[in-house]
A and B are shown apart, each in its own frame.
Chain A
Amino acid sequence: MTELLRRFARDRAALFGLCIIGPLVLAAIFAPVLAPYPNDVVDFHLERRLLPPSADTLLGTDRMGGDIFSRLLFGARTTLTLAGITVGLALLIGVPVGLIAGYYENRASEALMRVTEIFLAVPQIVLAIAIAQTLGPSLRNAILALTLTYWPFWARLVYAETRSIRNEVFIESAIALGASPWRVVVLHILPAIASPIIVRTSIGIGATILTAATLGFLGLGPPPTAPEWGRMIAESREHLPEAWWYALAPGLAIFLTVLGFNLVGDGFRDILDPRSRRGP
């Protein structure tokens, strides 16, 4: 374990990613304390609208006169909550489905995978837009739409990994020994396929943030008053190019966050890849 951490620490790109994600998570947690104008999330001051960045308002103000920096910090909360819950729920559905379908070789597992493939045949964002549009814009519905369209990805990944390890001798011998399917799956198969799941989780959070921002941009995320990065970019369009800071701040926030999660995911992949694992 310490060996793994040491190798992770040697990976500069992954460390850089961690340097983005770490402060971001802290910023999200302590947003009410850190934000210079915590009330600007709901209040509006029309006399201060569209001010450029200054010492007073670090990243300028938006069309309602709200401090963009403060709104960005609260937006981090929205974004991380949404991405975290979505990926968590998708894992909760997708991993068991993939494990069951991969372990058993019968009609039920075939049926599970065909359903999964139907979902995967449509681009995630298209399906998510359709569902979010139907349910109406809210944070909960955005999570629902993203989860419903994201679990098949995990089911597919876990299914493929399970199938590839299912015929390994140590799995067959555990079954021959009389181990229950539960025991085989949880104690032997799941630990063996944990690495790709961990790697994809980090990259998946980044991808989900991007998809969530797209939903927000289209007005299908949380309602207008809530601070959300995608929606902030959408609002800024009418004021471009004069109020350039208005679009740049949330745009950069999304870019850096997604970059951070991807770099960390790549770092995990490099240290957890079984092909690069060494003996003592």
Chain B
Amino acid sequence: MLERSHPPLLEVDRLSRHFPVRGFLGRRVATLRALDDVSFTMEDGEVLGIVGETGSGKSTLGKTLMGIHAPTAGEVRLGGTRIAAPGLRRAASVRARLQYVYQDPGASLDPRWTLRRSLHEPLRIHTNWSRDRREAKVQEIVAAVDLPRTHLDLYPHEISGGQLRRAGLARILVLNPQLVILDEPTAGLDVSVQAAILALLRELRREFSLTYIVISHDLAVVRSFSDRVAVMYLGRIVEIGPTAEVFGGPRHPYTRSLLAAAPRVGGPRVTESFLLLGEPPDPLQLPWGCRFRTRCRLAMPECGGLAVQLDYEAGHGVACPRWRQWDMGHRPAPPGSEAPWPHR
């Protein structure tokens, strides 16, 4: 480890969140390992994209960082201070520095409250400012997110989806957060509105020197928006690295399948290049060792061995015991397939 003068902005250390599945009389019948042994760090001002399918644990990761879920194991440090660990109560000041933007930020506003009241609320909770001082801050942020000032007296159902998103963003920005977790920031929006929201997010990042974690299943958004990207599969990070490297030269078989599965104009048909075998395993009974091995064409008996750790090389980590073998050019043909990676 390198000696450094100050700790990274965010350190996630072997973070896990398991949900007990309870049966008759509250007996624990199984455990859902929604997030299992996830570690990464983030520097100030960075944008980290987190991609994965539904059920990969990306939202659980966001909510555990945020403190909505308590971690089952591991810890999270923000600027060197421990902010999440099993049994740790989060201080109010930490909540202000770390904010979560919901998939539909409009839904995070109380439908019975005017936007003004909703935007004042974070300041009422975290400061003892006077009404006028709060109002000044709200006006400043509302101008920054391009929300018409007249909208402040309206109710959430009275404004458009795009404006609601701006209002939702304004609500978290009034607290001057350092790290913002964006959960599917563009889901369910028209392409033109998507572009506007992404441009706004970029601008806000500059203006308020924010650090973003972008959770999305939209690879195009993550690719254009983030500096680094982490790929999750069934509660674990399988690959993490600079965006250009991960998209340009994916090392993990799952990442390759995921990228190949994204349809492209003029590209190969998705059905031809889709390299996943079968269905994802039952999340309550995950395979030992590498969790992807049941669907991986390159799987070998050794993949079922001990937990697979991220193997870093020049800041690009991959959790596959075999990637070096086939990345060096000796790609063994897996049984039942002639060309494992027909389209690169």
Contacts and interface: CB of A to CB of B under 8 A. Distances in A.
A183 interface: yes
Nearest to B157: A279
Interface residues of A, number: 18
Interface in A187-204: 188, 191-192
A91 to B, nearest CB: 21
Contacts, number: 47
A126 interface: no
Instruction: Choose among A175, A179, A188 the residue with the greatest number of B CB atoms under 10 Å from its CB.
Output: A179
Contacts of B158: 279-280
A178 interface: yes
A176 interface: yes
Interface in A109-166: none
Contacts of B102: 169, 173
Interface in A221-280: 279-280
Interface stretch (B109-117, B132-140, B250-258): B109-117
Nearest to B101: A173
A219 B275 CA distance: 81
Contacts of A174: 110, 121
B200 to A, nearest CB: 19
Given A170-B110, A173-B108, A183 B100 contact: no
A170 B121 contact: no
A6 to B, nearest CB: 19
Contacts of A177: 95, 121-122, 125, 171-172
A43 interface: no
B66 interface: yes
Contacts of A188: 110
Contacts of B110: 170, 174, 188, 192
A170 B100 contact: no
Contacts of B68: 172, 175-176
B314 interface: no
B107 interface: yes
Given A173-B100, A279-B158, A280-B158, A178 B108 contact: no
B67 interface: yes
Contacts of A280: 158
Given A176-B67, A178-B125, A170 B111 contact: yes
B104 interface: yes
B96 interface: yes
Contacts of B108: 169-170, 172-173
A178 B95 CA distance: 6
Contacts of B96: 178
A188 B117 CA distance: 12
B1 interface: no
A181 to B, nearest CB: 12
A279 B159 CA distance: 10
A191 B155 CA distance: 15
A245 to B, nearest CB: 51
A173 B171 CA distance: 10
Contacts of B92: 178
Interface in B76-105: 92, 95-96, 100, 102, 104
B202 interface: no
Contacts of B67: 176
A170 B158 CA distance: 17
A175 B104 CA distance: 16
A179 B123 CA distance: 10
B126 interface: yes
Nearest to A191: B112
Contacts of B100: 173, 176
A176 B66 contact: yes
Contacts of B121: 174, 177, 179
A221 B108 CA distance: 50
Nearest to B181: A176
A105 to B, nearest CB: 12
Given A176-B68, A180-B125, A191-B112, 11 more contacts: A172-B108, A173-B108, A174-B121, A175-B68, A176-B95, A178-B92, A178-B122, A178-B126, A179-B125, A192-B110, A280-B158
Interface of B: 66-68, 92, 95-96, 100, 102, 104, 107-112, 121-122, 125-126, 157-158, 171-172
13 contacts: A168-B107, A170-B109, A172-B68, A173-B102, A174-B110, A176-B66, A176-B95, A176-B100, A178-B92, A179-B121, A192-B111, A192-B112, A279-B157
- Please list the 10 inter-chain residue pairs (A to B) with the smallest Cβ-Cβ separation, ordered nearest first: A173-B108, A178-B95, A169-B107, A178-B92, A170-B110, A178-B125, A176-B68, A169-B108, A176-B100, A177-B122
